Amino acid sequence: MLPGRVRRALLWAHRWLGLLSGIVVVLIGLTGSFIVFYREIDAALNPALYAPAGPEQRVTLTEVMRAAAAADSAPISTVLAPDRIWPVWVVIHAHQTATGRYPNRWTTMVDPSNGKVLGRRDYINAFALKVYRLHYTLLLYEWWGKELVGMVGFMLLGLAMSGLFLWWPRPGRFWRSVSVRSNVSLLRFVFDVHGAAGFWALCALLVISITGVGIIFPGMIRPVVGLLSQPTPDPSPRIELPSPIGTPLLPADAIVRIAQAAKPGVAIAMFNPPTATRNTWRVQFRPDDADPAVRARGAIWLDPWSGAVVHDRTPGTMSIGDRYLAKQLWLHNGAAFGLVGRLVVFIAGFAPLVLFISGVIMWLKRRPGRIRTG
């Protein structure tokens, strides 16, 4: 048990941190639950965009990019390969964006069975993606919204740890402290709900908060990870132009064949064509048996003229630290543990709401006096 003075100070900090940050924590928790299944929700809300004419995969990457370019002349930044959730080619176009604004992205959906364009849309303002941005930036990208969400991650971590110390039961009272009794007063019932919800969601909330902070502040987490396993910088390699000048680029289909030969046994998840800052192809992979929410687990960079692998960042070549950093997002949304992990994170996203409501009730009820917790 904590000494009385320390406990009172910790309780005061826990209470006011929860009251002051609670609304934002609840919002991030609920939107986090939503985006665990945001692609499934998006497909359900927009069935025409994700309804290929047939199950065949007849269209090549070159044909996909040609069809998308005819529908939208903006540069192609990413091409997502069909999977179980989005069974069509999703081509993301990078439209011009004002400095400091959220990147302006549009998507073109291409039927993999016949190469026809199924539709186009403003990617970042589609409903499911807007909820995703709400979770990631509070829709305040231009006003340090992402950094604010990162600070909320620290607050959630502080609330979880302080709540654990305050909850810690006396010997022999563990099950009583993690259960909810019905034959008690309303205030006692609310107290039980607060303690039980906090305990059962604790591990998930710790993982969510730690990985969330790492995703938003990678420069802060890398030195910590480096204490155990030194990570390497995530590259955007540029290569020297080939000689002679004017050497033709390899077609996209050749890049597909080279990537498949370089990494057999895994599925290609997405392609990133060369850009002004990175004149190489990046091809991202995921294991065939991975949850579809794991969009990528490893990548290689290819010379667009020769097809040579200029950098390999797949699991077999990465340090433990690199693997952790690469898996942070899939730990954050539970996809690293399949459907069960995603369901756990989905449920945990409602815990801040339960904890905030029960905490406010306890605060309002206990203001005149104190509640006995024994």
Q: What is the pLDDT of residues 68-88, one digit of tens each?
A: 999 999 999 999 999 989 999
Inform me whether the pLDDT recorded for 368 exceeds 70: no
pLDDT bin (cut points 50, 70, 90) of residue 20 is confident
**Rounded to whole angstroms, how far apart are CA atoms 330 and 324?**
10
pLDDT bin (cut points 50, 70, 90) of residue 41 is very high
Give the mean pLDDT of 102-112.
93
Inform me whether the pLDDT recorded for 4 exceeds 80: no
β-bridge pairing 89-95 and 104-110: antiparallel
Among 54, 51, 103, which Cα is nearest to 74's?
Answer: 103
Q: Where are the domains of the chain?
A: 1-44+144-231+323-366
Q: What is the pLDDT of residues 133-143, one digit of tens each?
A: 899 888 888 88
- Of the candidate ranges 87-96, 229-238, 359-368, the one whose mean pLDDT is the lowest: 229-238
Give the mean pLDDT of 338-362.
91
Angle at 187 (CA atoms; ends 181, 190), nearest 5 degrees = 60
Alpha carbon 212 to its chain centroid, in Å, reads: 8
Please report, for residues 221, 224, 233, 311, the alpha-carbon distance to residue 229 in angstroms, rounded to integers and kept in the order given.
12, 9, 13, 20
Give the mean pLDDT of 189-193.
85
Give the mean pLDDT of 28-51.
93
Give the mean pLDDT of 168-197.
80
Give the mean pLDDT of 274-299.
83
Cross-strand pairs, 357:
none
Q: What is the pLDDT of residues 229-281, one digit of tens each?
A: 777 776 677 778 776 777 888 999 999 999 999 998 888 999 999 987 888 99
Mean of pLDDT over the chain:
86
